A and B are shown apart, each in its own frame.
Chain A
């Protein structure tokens, strides 16, 4: 059983990992075909992964409803809104689920009126909280914090038209900050991240890193 639960997944990981890596350097047609099929398989498997997320969400809210936890009625609302929207998905503006997706109808209406409005609003609320947080915590306590603060102010002024309205020096300085010191730091971080990603990938392929298998047998 240990072979099936731990060794077989590792072999899968090793074989497909090495294949994905090595074929990059092989320009032959068959190698390109293998790469194409692997990429196709990968993105089709991703499509199934959506159901993991959905199951996780629904089971979380189901357990709240079943155990009558505080606020369980809101979990019921998740189920109701999910159910109504799913009906519209299946209805597909009268074409049914085995047809191309309709671009009109109740599904699109719910998307625009509820989903788009709510999603955009949720993220826009951060404008208020980030402003409040900036006022309370953004302090030039140390030379490093002062550099950060000055850089932020120059970027905030230079990136919008009022910066150029005050003085052309502000957007020019902003442009230089972005293109030289900011770019150098981001490149340093990117190089570090890339080395880390490559090292982790090697650890995964050679079975040193197996946390993706989860615990237990």
Chain B
């Protein structure tokens, strides 16, 4: 029994690896059912598309390469939904790596939906300062991002012609790998300007954000790859998050079985008076 508890960790590694690799090759197909927090984001974008179609939407990319497999699918889903409804979108980055990750996705999806740069969408790049950037955005858009990444003054971008500050956006969405939603956007932006605010975050961050859902400081939330997969289901696109749910399910079961096995061996050994 003790030997079972002290197996080479590489055996567990192989199980996890196979649990990911095999379902990627075999189509298991498990139905994906959107949860209320994800559906709330979808409904909010639908609502602003009907009730507030003229004002642009602000999307903030606060993630880096380390969390890309989780964040990229939700970036694609949200931008797909926004562009498909003809929403004008302004992108900014609060994490430096996000520039190289988000801009190609935004350009690609904008091209897919025939959106024109400057008029229908814009990408303003990165500014250091975290919460100071959000605070500054609440006071002056042009004062925070004087130029876009191509060096064009924001005053020359038609999409921002009527935008003075955060109040002039119909909806703000943050893609967060860290605590940018909780500690930057809510206290330094949403608290004062009361714009509809939602976000997509890594699964690690998701449980911490539930208090803000109940207080309505957050309209909705996409948590991790599962949140992205649910959003893909809502917009009718089968992307990398949807295909990722099969290995995700299998590996979760494998880890649960390992935990149960570990406990079974532990309690069996203890009952026999052994050490574990």
Contact = CB atoms under 8 A, between A and B. Distances in A.
Interface of A: 32, 35-36, 39-40, 42-44, 46-47, 49-50, 99-101, 103, 108, 111-112, 115-116, 119-120, 122-124, 127-128, 131-132, 134-136, 138-140, 149, 152-153, 156-157, 159-162, 164-165, 171, 175, 178-179, 182-183, 186-187, 190
Contacts of A178: 207, 210
Given A135-B259, A182-B207, 8 more contacts: A47-B128, A128-B9, A131-B15, A139-B266, A156-B256, A161-B33, A171-B33, A186-B207
B157 interface: no
B84 interface: no
B139 A32 contact: yes
B149 A101 contact: yes
Contacts of A138: 259, 262-263
A131 B128 contact: no
Contact of A116 (B68, B125, B250): B68
Interface of B: 5, 9, 12-13, 15-17, 30-33, 35-36, 64-69, 97, 99-101, 103-104, 125, 127-130, 132-133, 135-136, 139-140, 143-144, 147, 149-151, 203, 207-208, 210-211, 213-214, 223-224, 226, 229, 245, 248-256, 258-259, 261-263, 266
Given A120-B66, A120-B69, A187 B139 contact: no
Given A47-B128, A161-B33, A182-B207, A149 B259 contact: yes
A135 B262 contact: yes
For chain B, what secondary structure do more than half of its interface residues adopt (helix, strand, loop), or is it mixed? helix
A160 B149 contact: no
A158 to B, nearest CB: 9
User: Most chain-A Cβ atoms within 10 A of its Cβ — which of B210, B245, B253?
Assistant: B210
A67 to B, nearest CB: 31
Contacts of B256: 153, 156-157
A140 B128 CA distance: 45
Contacts of B249: 160-162, 165
A44 B35 CA distance: 41
B39 to A, nearest CB: 12
A123 B177 CA distance: 12
B151 A164 contact: no
A167 B53 CA distance: 40
Nearest to B258: A135
B132 A46 contact: yes
B65 A120 contact: yes
A111 B258 CA distance: 37
Nearest to B129: A43
Contacts of B101: 116
Contacts of B99: 101
Contacts of A160: 30, 226, 245, 248-249, 252
6 contacts: A120-B65, A161-B31, A161-B33, A162-B252, A183-B211, A190-B211
Given A128-B16, A136-B5, A36 B143 contact: yes
A175 B66 contact: no
A138 to B, nearest CB: 5
Contacts of A127: 16, 251
Contact of B151 (A99, A115, A152, A171): A99
A116 B223 CA distance: 22
B252 to A, nearest CB: 5
A157 B252 CA distance: 7
A187 B35 CA distance: 21
A88 to B, nearest CB: 12
Contacts of A112: 100
Contacts of A35: 135, 139
B210 A182 contact: yes
A35 B103 CA distance: 30
Nearest to A50: B128
B150 A100 contact: yes
A174 B35 CA distance: 10
